Structure 1
Amino acid sequence: MTRSVPQRRTLAAAAALAVACTAGAALSTAPAPPASAASPASPAPSASAAAGTASGYATENGGTTGGEGGATVRAGTGTQIHQALCSRAGTDTPLTIEVEGTVNHGNTSKVSGDSCDTAEDKIELKRISNVTIIGVGGGAVFDQVGIHIRESRNIIIRNVTVQNVRKSGSPTSNGGDAIGMEKDVSNVWVDHTTLRASGGEDEGYDGLFDLKNNTRYVTLSYSVLRDSGRGGLVGSSESDRSNGYLTYHHNLYRNIDSRTPLLRGGEAHMYNNHYVDVHESGINSRAGARAKVDSNYFQDSRNVLGTFYTNEAGYWEVSGNVYDNLTWSTPGDKTNPAGPDPESTTSVDIPYGYQLDDARCVPDIVSRTAGAGTGLGESDGRC
């Protein structure tokens, strides 16, 4: 039997929230963005927005540039996206695909060609490289159609909504993940996306952001993951420990049962995320995983960090986080919560530069910048 231990902000932390927050200390040699009282959001992205710069672990291992330097084409259906991939000169010819409209099962079909390997029921990025998919104009919605990446490298996905992708029921999509990566995938940047479901596994939904079987050097930034049983996993089983070097920053996890994410082996860096209404467990570091959990805001949630549902321990380094109205289970068999007073159990060296926002400012910053349709806005270092 477990015992829930409530944990709330200290009075000092609550008082601090009543004043304007300032930016955290710079951890990069690059200058911090200029402070401005204006909202950091910009107008809806145009073709030039595709030239945005990757961050986090996606900048390592040769970097992630997507379709930079290649042609730009426009697509309004899943079939047109596949046609664009199949019309390239080769599987590594750089290409940016601007998407506007709703992609669904009715307008997504398999297309064949020497530079592609597509499928009927999903957007398949398989055995390719150097591609950007970006929502433009009125926005891009992938409705019950997932984006799946297999045996590919140097992929960028930005400013799109992927919703209600099922693993069972009607219609179905292979794997059921909103965005899924599997088998020898590297250097992927997913940015300013909205990933959502309308329930959990019992309703036919799986993960929102899953990485498996040697997926490495991935960054998820300024995105919203919500209304799902499963936020995402890293590794399909305790033996799938070939994944890692992952960054999650300035994301909102809201109304999620678990897996924000679940980590099996490898290293991950979570900073400046807002976790709210996580019902069962949050960052689940297990099977030797090492997580650096840096200046995040955890709110109104349960078991936001620890090792859960296994005796194969994972580890974490914590600093600068805010823990606001949390509950924690009592440690026991297959349950090792980090709280109610989280302390580091390892140290993780981060090879890239990054700019930390004060955790107290994170809910405000993320509310203004995360998700599709926010103009690709980023933190300006102010609340």
Structure 2
Amino acid sequence: MRRPVAVRTLAAGAATALAATMGLTALAMPAAQAATGSANGFASSNGGTTGGAGGQTVRATSGTAIHTALCNRASSSTPIIIEVSGTINHGNTAKVSGPSCNTAAGVIELKQISNVTIVGVGSAVFDQVGIHIREASNIIIQNVTVKNVKKSGSPTSNGGDAIGMESGVRNVWVDHVTLEASGGESEGFDGLFDMKDNTQYVTLSYSILRNSGRGGLIGSSESDRSNGFVTFHHNRYENIDSRAPLLRGGVAHIYNNHYVNLRESGINSRAGAKAKVENNYFEDSKDVLGTFYTDQAGYWQVAGNIFDNVTWSSRSGDNQPAGPNPTSNTTVSIPYSYSLDGASCVPDVVRQTAGANTGLRVSNGSCTPQSPPPTTSPTSSPTSNPTSTPTANPTPGGTNLSLGAGADGSSKGSGTSYGNVLDGSLSTYWSPSGSTGRISVKWDSATTVSKVNVREASGGGAIGAWRLVNNDTGAVLATGSGSGVISFPSTSLKKINFEITSATGTPRIAELETYAG
């Protein structure tokens, strides 16, 4: 059985103790793909954004464990991939000290560091805890939800920003995340996605920003014009008052986004900012593009956008909407290649791809969502997360150890049950509440397992990528795609997780059989 690697001792042994008690597991795996897909947009410029690719992978189930993982590195630039699962909150997010980190309590602090990936595995929720990126570079954040971060009231975190960047930040890719609040500034919330004080080369893709007074900004004031080179694509802005986004100086590329119910204003280009705005779908909104609340003009190049039930106010003073018939007043050069979906299909494509826990699906540029290729690891030794291609072999010989065991999971669809995967019947099944999720088999005492047979019920969506995980240690036993028999080195454990990370539609697992040999 693969075991966690030792945690490097920090001052006074604090990190070792925290690793043992606060939900940090180091997975014994070689260099792995940091996140599904690769950074695009402006995050692909300036040398590109690779995050923690090539570094150690660890599993964290608390904010303190995330900080511990950063502090355990040999240096502040040593690559690391932090897989996050569960709920991160104030109660489990403490400051950790060490030479390779600079953290704080009550906020995920990525400060004065580089080469880090934070990726959600299953459900990963940052509840009232923001992610603060400061004096940092080459950062990837993927497949997480950040919600209800406050700057006033209690508790507070990250100045009220869900994700905030400042002070010389370079090359950040934020992908397939959900950022949400429960009101505006009067309720204690600030921006969902803010960049200021010399932040450059950022991409926000396939994400949901909703239920907030402020979507986000580039530049903290009219004089803060050192930011820019930011791409926003295939995102959904919903129930936002303004700042979708607010641009002060710099260059932004905004394409294939779906905007719904922008109540006061949308893309606010001002203070000399230049935005290329193309093939977006604006719906049931007001003043979706222009220069607002300032006499310092911004600029835009527009093409291919659809304005569906959009209202425009009259131009006067510091209120200069681009409509009702927006036309370009500048040109913007884009240095990277990209594929545009037609604006008419953007609502449907974004609905299927944007946000956390949507299977990391992306568009192919022809209005068709695609599942990402499965992430696999080398198979040179039993400790290297072997890639297993399920086969259509007959049921393995011996006793199905799942019969008489217990089951749980990350979620369950209406009318389905975790226990259905253990009842020996192909007519009953478990489904996640969406296209991805976890189903587990568990025993009261350690049980040796070397094969899992995943049997699908008819009528469900096809399983895409998956991971088989030893829940006791967090070690990945196998990765692959599809259903069938999965073989891996014999492992003694009390709980095994089958994690579906992508699927076409909603999968149906009739049986999750386990065998000793």
Same-fold call, TM cutoff 0.5:
yes
Q: Matches of residues 282-361 of structure 1 in structure 2 within 5 Å?
A: 282-361=266-345
- Shift of residue 154, structure 1, vs aligned partner: 0.2
1:213 aligns with 2:197: yes
Letter in 2 for 1:50: A
Is 1:183–1:213's contact at 8 Å kept on the other side of the alignment?
yes
1:81 aligns with 2:81: no
Letter in 1 for 2:299: Y
1:170 aligns with 2:158: no
**How far apart, in 2, do the equivalents of 1:52 and 1:90 lie?**
26
1:50 aligns with 2:35: yes
Alignment partner, residue 180 of structure 1: 164
**How far apart, in 2, do the equivalents of 1:264 and 1:382 lie?**
32
**How far apart, in 2, do the equivalents of 1:67 and 1:303 lie?**
40
Letter in 2 for 1:297: Y
- Shift of residue 258, structure 1, vs aligned partner: 0.2
Letter in 2 for 1:130: N
Is 1:51–1:68's contact at 8 Å kept on the other side of the alignment?
no
Letter in 1 for 2:332: V
Is 1:136–1:159's contact at 8 Å kept on the other side of the alignment?
yes
**How far apart, in 2, do the equivalents of 1:85 and 1:333 lie?**
49
**How far apart, in 1, do the equivalents of 2:162 and 2:150 lie?**
8
Letter in 2 for 1:63: G
1:129 aligns with 2:100: no
- Shift of residue 48, structure 1, vs aligned partner: 5.3
Is 1:369–1:376's contact at 8 Å kept on the other side of the alignment?
yes
Letter in 1 for 2:39: A
| 1:31-78 deviation line (CA, Å, top 9, x unaligned) | xxxxxxxxxxxxxxxx75724200100000010000000000000000
| 1:224-258 deviation line (CA, Å, top 9, x unaligned) | 00000000011000000000000000000000000
Is 1:218–1:246's contact at 8 Å kept on the other side of the alignment?
yes
2:249 is aligned, of 243, 265, 270, to: 265
Alignment partner, residue 50 of structure 2: 65
Letter in 2 for 1:274: H
Letter in 2 for 1:316: W
Letter in 1 for 2:161: D
1:235 aligns with 2:219: yes
Find the residue that maps to 2:317 and give its secondary structure. Answer: coil
Alignment partner, residue 450 of structure 2: none
Alignment partner, residue 144 of structure 1: 128
Letter in 2 for 1:81: I
Alignment partner, residue 108 of structure 1: 93
**How far apart, in 1, do the equivalents of 2:77 and 2:308 lie?**
47
**How far apart, in 2, do the equivalents of 1:302 and 1:146 lie?**
29
- Shift of residue 305, structure 1, vs aligned partner: 0.1
| Backbone CA RMSD of aligned residues | 0.9
Find the residue that maps to 2:42 and give its secondary structure. Answer: helix
Is 1:209–1:232's contact at 8 Å kept on the other side of the alignment?
yes
**How far apart, in 2, do the equivalents of 1:232 and 1:118 lie?**
24
- Shift of residue 218, structure 1, vs aligned partner: 0.2
1:204 aligns with 2:192: no
Is 1:145–1:165's contact at 8 Å kept on the other side of the alignment?
yes
**How far apart, in 1, do the equivalents of 2:36 and 2:264 lie?**
38
Name the CA shift for 1:208/1:133 in 2 (closer, same or farther; >3 Å): same
Is 2:34–2:53's contact at 8 Å kept on the other side of the alignment?
no
Find the residue that maps to 1:356 and give its secondary structure. Answer: coil
**How far apart, in 1, do the equivalents of 2:34 and 2:170 lie?**
23
Is 1:303–1:328's contact at 8 Å kept on the other side of the alignment?
yes
Letter in 1 for 2:97: S
Is 2:183–2:212's contact at 8 Å kept on the other side of the alignment?
yes
| 1:95-133 deviation line (CA, Å, top 9, x unaligned) | 000000000000000000000000001000000000000
Looking at both structures, which has the greater relative contact order when contacts are Cα pairs under 8 Å and sequence separation is at least 6?
A: 1
Alignment partner, residue 92 of structure 1: 77
- Shift of residue 174, structure 1, vs aligned partner: 3.1
Is 1:143–1:163's contact at 8 Å kept on the other side of the alignment?
yes
**How far apart, in 1, do the equivalents of 2:128 and 2:260 lie?**
25
Alignment partner, residue 194 of structure 1: 178
Is 2:121–2:143's contact at 8 Å kept on the other side of the alignment?
yes
1:226 is aligned, of 200, 203, 210, to: 210
**How far apart, in 2, do the equivalents of 1:182 and 1:382 lie?**
35
**How far apart, in 2, do the equivalents of 1:358 and 1:309 lie?**
32
| 1:285-329 deviation line (CA, Å, top 9, x unaligned) | 000000000100001000000000000000000001001101111
Structure 2 gap ranges (5+): 1-31, 369-517
Letter in 1 for 2:212: S
Is 1:56–1:354's contact at 8 Å kept on the other side of the alignment?
yes
**How far apart, in 2, do the equivalents of 1:382 and 1:207 lie?**
30
Find the residue that maps to 2:344 and give its secondary structure. Answer: helix
Q: How many residues align structurally?
A: 336
**How far apart, in 2, do the equivalents of 1:201 and 1:152 lie?**
27
- Shift of residue 175, structure 1, vs aligned partner: 1.0
Alignment partner, residue 408 of structure 2: none
Name the CA shift for 1:66/1:314 in 2 (closer, same or farther; >3 Å): same
1:118 aligns with 2:103: yes
Letter in 2 for 1:72: T
**How far apart, in 1, do the equivalents of 2:37 and 2:68 lie?**
24
Is 2:346–2:367's contact at 8 Å kept on the other side of the alignment?
no
Is 2:34–2:51's contact at 8 Å kept on the other side of the alignment?
no
